[in-house]
Amino acid sequence: MSRLLDILGCKYPIIQGPIGATNSPKLVAEICEAGAFGMLAMGFISNAEEAKRLARDVRELTDKPFGANLMTMNPLNPEILEVLAESGVKTVTTSAGSPRNLYPLLHELGMKGLHVMLAFSYAVKAEDAGVDGLVVSGAESGGLRSVNPESSNMILVPLVVDHVKVPVVAAGGIADSRGYRAALALGAEGVQVGTRFLASEESSAPKAWKEAIINCSDGGTTLLPLGNMMMRVIVNPKLKAQMSDPETDLAKEYNLMNVPEAWGKGNFDLFPAGAGQISARIHEIKPVRKIIEEMVS
């Protein structure tokens, strides 16, 4: 068994990329049942009870191990970690900030953690902070991105692999067996997959979101500025018009706080649909079991 599979406790080294405000216990459970590692997203959770309920809902659907993602800046993290540990969660990922304060508690609770990082310098710091593994998320990935210049996975994954001792997972641009094998060839021990699972049959994303991914062509995503961060989103007609207007300050037009409503209802004028560059290679909504079986074939 690889070091990563030892940490995750599943059959295949494939992690479900957590998707902000979008949680579907059914999707998490299906991914686990198909041999990969399902993940809940705790970034937008407003109380620990909600975390407990989500973990319980997953547990009712599968007895396989699953995980959860925590945003480091969430003040509720200690409570969330405790309810997750009580619910039997043994592995979490941490993202969007320094892992230093979270890991002592996480380890005290008997958990392991993989830290998500977007640039080489953060990988070295995270390893130094005691993380058990790293999720390396290149510029092509969906989700929150940095305002600093970024490298894509072809560069970032081997760069990090060559400098750290902990297992590395590649996130971004992976939707099929070619992407999966390429990530392993670059030295990653596993992959994290966001957009492909978002456009799956079991995903609770509204139809409009899945269709936006399927209809997205090459170059169809952009980095939406949000102050000190960016978000990779699919360009829609409203956003396209705003982008060509030099008077429009996009950071003032879109508020991250509107993400739960916008993505939950498919209202992409309120906040554009989040997705990775890999959308250009996703043409069909498929069941997760089929996606996973094809990926490891």
Ligand X SMILES: Cc1cc2nc3c(=O)[nH]c(=O)nc-3n(C[C@H](O)[C@H](O)[C@H](O)COP(=O)(O)O)c2cc1C
Among all chains, which residue has been given the structure tokens 């979008």?
Answer: 22
Q: The tokens of 176 are what?
A: 């099929």
Q: Cβ of 250: how many Cβ atoms within 10 Å?
A: 17
CA-to-CA distance for 274 and 148, rounded, in angstroms? 19
With binding defined as CB under 6 A, does residue 174 bind ligand X?
yes
Q: Report whether 266 contacts 209 (CB < 8 A).
A: yes
Segment near ligand X (CB under 6 A), from 4-12, 99-107, 148-156, 186-194? 186-194
Of positions 24, 195, 221, 222, contacts ligand X by CB under 6 A: 195
Q: Is 116 in the site for ligand X (CB under 6 A)?
A: yes
Show the tokens assigned to 297.
Answer: 């074939």
Q: How far is the CB of 282 from ligand X (least distance, A)?
A: 10
Residue type (1 letter), 240: K
Q: Encoding tokens for residue 22?
A: 């979008």
Q: Which position among 188, 276, 282, 295 is part of the footprint of ligand X (CB under 6 A)?
A: 276
Contact stretch for ligand X (CB under 6 A) within 60-68, 97-105, 187-195, 246-254: 187-195
Q: In this structure, what DSSP letter does residue 56 have?
A: H
113 forms part of the interface with ligand X (CB under 6 A):
no
Query: How many Cβ atoms are within 10 Å of 87's Cβ, its own excluded?
Result: 18
Strands 133-137 and 112-117: parallel
Tell me: does residue 216 bind ligand X (CB under 6 A): no
Stretch that binds ligand X, among 121-129, 169-177, 216-224, 289-297 (CB under 6 A): 169-177
Which of 215, 207, 209 shows the shortest CA–CA distance to 194? 209
Closer to ligand X by Cβ: residue 245 or 269: 269
CA 20/CA 6 separation, integer angstroms: 26
- CA 264 to CA 207: how far, in whole Å? 10
Supply the minimum distance, in Å, between the C-beta of residue 19 and ligand X: 4
Of the residues 23, 69, 77, 87, which one makes contact with ligand X according to CB under 6 A: 69
> Of the candidates 36, 41, 291, 295, which one interacts with ligand X according to CB under 6 A?
41
Q: Which stretch binds ligand X (CB under 6 A): 3-11, 18-26, 49-57, 107-115?
A: 18-26
Q: Which residue is nearest to ligand X (CB)?
A: 194
Contact call for residue 38 and ligand X (CB under 6 A): no
63 or 258, CB closer to ligand X? 258
Q: How many CA atoms lie within 13 A of 189 on its CB side?
A: 21
User: Can you give the binding site for ligand X, defined by CB under 6 A?
Assistant: 17-20, 41, 43, 69, 93, 95, 116, 137, 141-143, 171-174, 192-196, 274-276, 278
